[in-house]
Amino acid sequence: MKDKLDFYINGAWVQSSSNEKIEVINPANEEVIGHVAAGTKEDIDSAVNAASNAFETFSHSSKEERIDLLKKVIAEYENRMQDFVDTISEEMGAPLWLSGAAQATTGLRNFQDTLEALEAYEFEKTEGTYILRKEPIGVIGMITPWNWPMNQITTKVSAALASGCTMVLKPSEISPYCAMLLAEVFDAAGVPAGIFNLVNGYGPTVGAALSEHSKVDMMSFTGSTRAGALISKAASDQ
């Protein structure tokens, strides 16, 4: 039984303010493989505040510093590749060969592709008589689905890291362990505290609190039309 009840906030694993647990089930055999904590609005507040504080510094990081961070994340991801394969297979029911050949490796490839793009990217250039400068937008809230979890997570996370944004991720409560494994990768890679934060929980609670938070500058969501409409409505006031 893998009970992982802490959240990754401000560079540390912290206890949730909630005592509620969510069962994580292996769909291949319908057995409960563990639990995660069902987060609260207070947990989201802590994570967003950490991301907001970290943005004040990380938004001024250089392109070279972000390249270095991505390289360290890639190296740690490669070190944990088999853990990703096993975890994804167990929590979402993918056959081991598919988890290894596609699921886990897609996450790594997204980081590698983002690194390649960042190395050639121009954040500032002259256009005629003016200068065009692209700047990080701020704190990004991320909500991802259960299927192809590392693909959906790493496309968002790698782009945020490359652009100088900080983030709060709410992965699917159906397949949360691979996201928590990614938090371990970020921690081992030395990503500064507050840049990447993770809170597990249900969409109507944690997802809603993230979407409507006044310090979240952008929402990135992958999932159903119904949930997307609710997120857009919740985010629109801010």
pLDDT at 11 exceeding the cut of 90 = yes
Q: Running DSSP on this structure, what letter comes out for residue 100?
A: I
Q: Tell whether 155 is covered by a domain.
A: yes
SS3 call for 38: coil
Going by pLDDT thresholds of 50, 70 and 90, the confidence category of residue 2 is: confident
SS3 call for 81: helix
pLDDT at 169 exceeding the cut of 80 = yes
Strand partners, 139: 166
Q: Tell whether 28 is covered by a domain.
A: yes
Q: What is the CATH number of the domain that holds 108?
A: 3.40.605.10
Q: Tell whether 96 is covered by a domain.
A: yes
Nearest-angstrom CA–CA distance, 37 and 219? 23
Task: Note down the domain range covering 21.
Answer: 2-120+137-236
Tens digit of pLDDT for each residue in 79-95?
999 999 999 999 999 99
Q: Tell whether 126 is covered by a domain.
A: no
Q: Tell whether 202 is covered by a domain.
A: yes
> At which residue do the structure tokens 């990503």 appear?
191
Q: Which residues of 60-78 are buried (b: 16+ CB within 10 A; e: fewer)?
A: ebebeebeebbebbbebbe
User: Domain tally for the chain?
Assistant: 1
Strand partners, 3: 35
Q: Tell whether 158 is covered by a domain.
A: yes
Task: Give the pLDDT of residue 1.
Answer: 65
Q: Tell whether 90 is covered by a domain.
A: yes
Task: Give the pLDDT of residue 8.
Answer: 98
| Helix or strand holding residue 227 (H, E) | helix 225-236
Task: Give the pLDDT of residue 237.
Answer: 85
Structure tokens at 78: 């490669």
Return the CA Rg of the chain: 17
Dihedral sign for Cα 109, 203, 45, 34, please: negative
Q: What is the dihedral of CA 61, 161, 200, 10, to 10 degrees?
A: -20
Going by pLDDT thresholds of 50, 70 and 90, the confidence category of residue 238 is: confident
Q: Tell whether 129 is covered by a domain.
A: no
